[in-house]
Amino acid sequence: MPPYATDEDLAKAVEAHKAHGASKAAQILGIPRTTLSSRVEIAARRGMMGTGPVLPGFEIKSTSTQLGPDGDLQREWIKQGPAAGVAYEPPPGHVVKGESALLDAEGRVLNRWVKTREGMDALDAVEAIKAAFADYEPSAPPVDPPKSPDENLLNLIPANDWHINLLTWARETGTNWDLKIAEQVIGQGIEDAISRSPECDTAILLGGGDLTHADNNENRTARSNNVLDVDGRHQKGLEVACRLKVRAIDAARRKARKVIVRILPGNHDTHTAVAVAYFLLAWYRNDPNVTVDVDASLFFWHRFGNVLIGATHGHTVKLKDMASIMAHRRAEDWGATKFRYVHGFHIHHHSKFATEGNGVIMESHQAPIPQDAWHHNSGFLSGRSMQVITYHKEFGEVARVRVAMLDG
């Protein structure tokens, strides 16, 4: 029921209910039956169905009557009490976290308490994404895919651990970093790497997780509750993240006959990754050359001729265990391929855990961002880069473009 039904709405509901009954009345008024019932109940408490006038701001709580020998009404007692308040609205910038209620012996609500938290609900996320592209201009005019790409090649574009909204201070970590710097450096880096890769049949833009540094305005990690250094509200980071993904996909479209997009969630962006994936699905819905994969799994698999590719962020499964997972879950593809590769992220530094002699090359990737204060002060070491890896459907990896982040 609308939270502010007028007296006119209530009167119409009562009149229709008396004349036609609940089902027909709801149909005539064009409202759900539950809404009609709620309006009739409120009207009764306000005395609109009998029992005399009700004091302003009060409602009928109970009635009792005294009847004569012939069943005629002799006396009537009406108990009134303060009317219920208006529908609850959370404070600006807050969402409802939970509710508690005090019930009587018959299960009726006597009182209720609403808990809120600072954050962003689904509608806020939609509005933030719409605002991100209100005045968006592509970095280059859209172009058709290449006319004669090499059908034997696939370009894998790891787009991992961008941690949009990360804030660092040079006097503390050695590098200044914020939303403006991130959009410039990551955008130029990904476009540079893609532009230097060969024209191909297929490009896979693989979001490797942790697209944003924080998943909401609480600015803490969900699993460990660690405090995060962020630049501005989560909505601002979401806008930049969406623009950068579109920028990367558009660059890939100029090099590939078809583009596959997958946004894997990480430990920093469990919910944001899903929102961005569905945004991209809508953004490219009319582009037959772009496929946005919105599979809910934490794993990605793709077979290209003799090549089998797998990936996961790495916060739930260790990279060294991915070979056995690939062999078990993709047994048919495993048996039909000769070159198998697994890509992991999360740890922000480059390493290889197995050789091709063991059937799978498992590789973790660097991130394009500087270290945050916690990692810097803990002594972690890692380089910064972005890259594109090219696979031949018959011979496996044949080329690699690496762009080092030199902004620091």
* pLDDT higher than threshold 50 for residue 141: no
The whole-angstrom separation of Cα 294 and Cα 263 is 8
| pLDDT for the residue numbered 269 | 87
Residue 177 structure tokens: 């970093």
Work out the pLDDT band at 215, boundaries 50, 70, 90. Answer: confident
Higher confidence at residue 346 or residue 78?
346
Q: What 3-state class would DSSP assign to 109?
A: strand
In this predicted model, what pLDDT tens digit does every residue of 281-322 receive, in sequence order?
999 998 999 999 999 999 999 999 999 999 999 888 888 889
In this predicted model, what pLDDT tens digit does every residue of 268-278 receive, in sequence order?
889 999 999 99
Element (H, E) at 129: helix 122-132
End-to-end CA distance of the chain: 57
pTM for the structure as a whole: 0.65
In this predicted model, what pLDDT tens digit does every residue of 24-52 receive, in sequence order?
888 888 888 888 888 887 877 676 656 55
The whole-angstrom separation of Cα 185 and Cα 183 is 6
Work out the pLDDT band at 22, boundaries 50, 70, 90. Answer: confident
CATH T-level assignment (fold) for domain 122-404: Purple Acid Phosphatase; chain A, domain 2 (3.60.21)
Average pLDDT, the chain: 82
Work out the pLDDT band at 1, boundaries 50, 70, 90. Answer: very low
Name the residue ranges covered by the structural domains of the chain. 1-63, 122-404
Element (H, E) at 322: helix 322-329
* pLDDT higher than threshold 80 for residue 197: yes
| DSSP states of 231-300 | SS-HHHHHHHHHHHHHHHHHHHHTTEEEEEEEE---SS-TTHHHHHHHHHHHHTTT-TTEEEE---SSEE
CB 365 within 8 A of CB 314: no
| pLDDT for the residue numbered 36 | 83
Residue 116 structure tokens: 């809120």
Pick the closest to residue 230 from 241, 218, 239 (CA basis). Answer: 218
Residue 183 structure tokens: 């959009």
Distances (CA, A) of 121 to 89, 128, 276, 344: 13, 11, 14, 30
| pLDDT for the residue numbered 90 | 64
| pLDDT for the residue numbered 140 | 44
CB 248 within 8 A of CB 157: yes
| pLDDT for the residue numbered 153 | 97
The whole-angstrom separation of Cα 245 and Cα 265 is 14
In this predicted model, what pLDDT tens digit does every residue of 352-380 receive, in sequence order?
656 665 789 999 888 998 887 777 777 76
